[in-house]
Amino acid sequence: MSDETRKVAFICSKGTLDMAYPALVMGWAALGNGIDVTIFFTFWGLDIINKARVDHLELAPVANTSMKMSMMGIKTGNLGIPNLLGVLPGMTAFATSLMKNKMKGLEVPPVREYLQMLVDAGAKLYACKMSVDMMGLKKEDFVDGVLDIVTAGDFMDMTEGAQIIFI
């Protein structure tokens, strides 16, 4: 094994509850194995580090072909949640609470706590400047641990030699 520390960088571009977890889970595993972790939040991914949004990330059943009725414990095989039902008020909240409960059952921490664990373990978090400007956000809008608002070019500079994973 080489002496140089392996580096991994994640680009989080989605703000749904299901898309917040991949970088958190893999980032945590990387830190536990001594790998340097940088996470760049862009576009909707900014919701994951937005103080006002992080506890309210959601999962919509509409057009989600992987979400099956059987996830609710109803033995219906491949039958999906009909899109027509998915548009009903409350269905997004329902799907969200379903996923949150399943995560809790696996002892997976909520997103805010997970982010803090990563920061405590040394992960470096950055927000994308263009997205921040587009959404009218400021550094104070982000959770503790977000180091800075940086440009795409800065991100490229700081991740030289890293494996980059786009989510």
Q: How many Å is the maximal CA-CA distance in the chain?
A: 56
80: contact with another protein by CB under 8 A:
no
Check: CB of residue 124 under 8 Å from CB of residue 37.
yes
Partnered with residue 102 across adjacent β-strands are: none
Rank residues 84 and 106 by Cβ distance to another protein and give the closer one.
Answer: 106
For residues 70 and 56, give the distance between their C-alpha atoms in angstroms, rounded to a whole number. 25
115: contact with another protein by CB under 8 A:
no
For residues 30 and 89, give the distance between their C-alpha atoms in angstroms, rounded to a whole number. 39
The one among 2, 33, 66, 101 contacting another protein by CB under 8 A:
33
Q: Residue 28 corresponds to which tokens in the numbers above?
A: 């945590």
Rank residues 117 and 143 by Cβ distance to another protein and give the closer one.
Answer: 117
120: contact with another protein by CB under 8 A:
yes
The one among 117, 135, 137, 167 contacting another protein by CB under 8 A:
117
The one among 7, 28, 53, 167 contacting another protein by CB under 8 A:
28
The one among 5, 65, 78, 101 contacting another protein by CB under 8 A:
5
We find the least distance from the C-beta atom of residue 26 to another protein, in angstroms, to be 9
Give the CA distances from residue 154 to residues 81, 124, 160, 165, in Å, rounded to whole numbers and listed in that order: 43, 13, 10, 17
144: contact with another protein by CB under 8 A:
no
- How many positions of this chain bind another protein (CB under 8 A)? 18
4: contact with another protein by CB under 8 A:
no
Three-state secondary-structure class, residue 68 = strand
User: From the DSSP assignment, how many helices (H) and strands (E) are in the chain?
Assistant: 6, 5
Q: Which residues bind another protein (CB under 8 A)?
A: 5, 25, 28-29, 31-35, 106-109, 116-117, 120-122
